[in-house]
Amino acid sequence: MKLWRGGRVATLAGDAGWGLIDDGALLVDDHGLLRWVGPSAEAPPADEVVDLQGALVTPGLVDCHTHLVYGGNRANEFEQRLHGASYADIAKAGGGIKSTVAATRGASEADLLAGARTRARALMAEGVTTLEVKSGYGLDADTEARMLRVARQLGSLGLDVKTTYLAAHAMPPEFSDADTYVAAVCAWLPGLHAAGLVDAVDAFCEHIAFSPAQVSRVFDAARALGLPVKLHAEQLSDQGGAELAARYRALSCDHLEFLGPDGVRAMAQAGTVAVLLPGAFYALRETQLPPVTALREAGVPIAIATDHNPGSSPTLSPLLMLNMACVLFRLTPEEALRGLTVHGARALGLRDRGQLVPGQRADFCLWDGGHPRELAACFGHNPLKARVFKGRIQGGA
C-alpha cells in the first residue's frame, strides 16, 4: 500500500461538483487501485508515503476519440480551407480522408508505429492515461488490421488503449458502390475481432460518407459479435444518426453540431454519451454549435476529446480542448474536466476510472495549480508535474 498525501484533490465524485479535498490523500494498493481517498489528517497507515507537495490532483485524462494512427499529414488542406474550400469540397475532390488513406496504405507498420508513438507521448505529456484510437484510414482488410495492431502496441508506453474499428469512415477508391463496400466492412469484422483487435465499432453517418441504412448494417455486424457501437453523427447535417445509434444503445455519438431534439431525447433514453469535439469545430471554422443546453437539460453525459486526426483536428492538446469546450461550447470548467475524465471513460464503456474514489483505478495527474478550473481557463500552457498510471508515477515531478 502506498499513500500519496498533501495534495489538493479534485475527486469529481458523484454526478456534480469538483469534490475538492484541500489537503487530501490517496491510498493505492498493489494492484494499482484506489483503496481510500480523504483528508491527509485521517489517512490510514501505509507501507510507503509520497508527499504531493501541495500539487493539484485530478483523475487521469481520458481521450475517448482519436484517429492517432496514420501516414502523411494534411497541412495542404489547411491552406486550401483558408482559400475558401470547405471540408466537404475537399473530400469530394479526393482530398480529406482519402488522401490520408493513400498515405496510410503506403506506410509500413514500423512507420505507422513511430508516428503514433510520438503523438501518443504528446497526449501523455498533458495527462492522458486512457486513449481511444480508431482505424479507418486503411479501408481494406490488411491496412485496417495494421492500424489496429499499431494502436494496440501504444499500450506499452504506459497508458491504456482502446481500439475502435472504423472501416465505415469513407469509400475506398477501388469500390464504386457503397452498399458493396459496407458488405466488405461487415465481412472483415469477425476476423479482426477474433484477433483481439476490436473493442468497439464506429461509422461515419453523413451525406459525404454512409447513410443510416448502411450504418445499421455495420451495427448489426457488431451486435452479432457482442461489440458496442459508436457513431460520428450530425457533424455536417442532421441525418438522424443519433436516433439510429441510440436504437443500438451506442456508447457514444460524436460531433453532434446538427443534433436535433429527437436525437437528444433518444440519446438520453439510451444512456448514450455525447462526445463534443471542439478542435474540429474550431479548425473547420464551423458556426453551428452543438445543442449543449438541450443535452444538459436532458441529462445526457457530455464528453470532450481531441479527435486528433491529420485533417480536421490536428491537435495533440487535451488541455486546449478543455479551454475550447468552455469558450466555444460554453461548458463550465467542471463539465469540461468531467468530459475529459469520467464521461470520456463512459464513452468507452469504462466505469472503473475517471473519478478519484475507492475501487477506481489509480490513474491520476499532478498539476502545478491551486484549483482545477485553472486547467480550463489557461491555454497554450502545460502545468502537468507528473502522471500516475495504475499507481505508478511516470515522468515529470
What minimum distance in Å lies between the beta carbon of 309 and Zn ion? 6
Closest CB to Zn ion among residues 307, 335 = 307
Which residue, chain included where needed, has cell 475550447? Answer: 324
What minimum distance in Å lies between the beta carbon of 311 and Zn ion? 10
Cα dihedral sign, 125-307-253-18: positive
Angle, helices 212-224 vs 178-194, to 10°: value is 20
Distance (Å, whole) CA 290 – CA 267: 14
Could you tell me how many residues make up the chain? 397
What minimum distance in Å lies between the beta carbon of 106 and Zn ion? 22
What minimum distance in Å lies between the beta carbon of 276 and Zn ion? 12
Closest CB to Zn ion among residues 4, 137 = 137
Distances (CA, A) of 188 to 203, 273, 356: 14, 27, 39
Closest CB to Zn ion among residues 286, 307 = 307
Q: Which residue is nearest to Zn ion (CB)?
A: 307
What minimum distance in Å lies between the beta carbon of 304 and Zn ion? 13
What minimum distance in Å lies between the beta carbon of 148 and Zn ion? 15
Distance (Å, whole) CA 318 – CA 123: 7
Query: Around Cβ 371, how many Cβ atoms within 10 Å?
Result: 13
Distances (CA, A) of 185 to 88, 173, 345, 387: 23, 14, 26, 38
Distance (Å, whole) CA 56 – CA 323: 18
The separation between CA 104 and the C-alpha centre of its own chain, rounded to angstroms, equals 21
What minimum distance in Å lies between the beta carbon of 97 and Zn ion? 10
Closest CB to Zn ion among residues 136, 391 = 136
**Pairing outcome for strands 2-10 and 56-59:** parallel
Distance (Å, whole) CA 252 – CA 152: 21
Distance (Å, whole) CA 264 – CA 103: 37
Closest CB to Zn ion among residues 7, 278 = 278
Q: Which residues 281-310 are close enough to bind Zn ion by CB under 5 A? A: 307
Closest CB to Zn ion among residues 311, 391 = 311
Q: Which residues 307-336 are close enough to bind Zn ion by CB under 5 A? A: 307
Closest CB to Zn ion among residues 143, 313 = 313
What minimum distance in Å lies between the beta carbon of 168 and Zn ion? 12
Q: Which three cell numbers stand for residue 175?
A: 469500390
Phi and psi at 254, nearest 5°, equal: -120, 145
Q: Which residues 133-172 are close enough to bind Zn ion by CB under 5 A? A: none
What minimum distance in Å lies between the beta carbon of 358 and Zn ion? 34
CA nearest 235: which of 183, 174, 281, 187?
281
The separation between CA 370 and the C-alpha centre of its own chain, rounded to angstroms, equals 26
Binding mask 199-238 for Zn ion (x = CB under 5 A): ----------------------------------------
CA dihedral 51, 160, 234, 301 (to 10 degrees): -50
Size of the site for Zn ion (CB under 5 A): 1
Cα dihedral sign, 322-327-329-332: positive
Closest CB to Zn ion among residues 197, 231 = 231
Closest CB to Zn ion among residues 63, 363 = 63
What minimum distance in Å lies between the beta carbon of 197 and Zn ion? 18
Closest CB to Zn ion among residues 307, 363 = 307
Binding site for Zn ion (CB under 5 A): 307
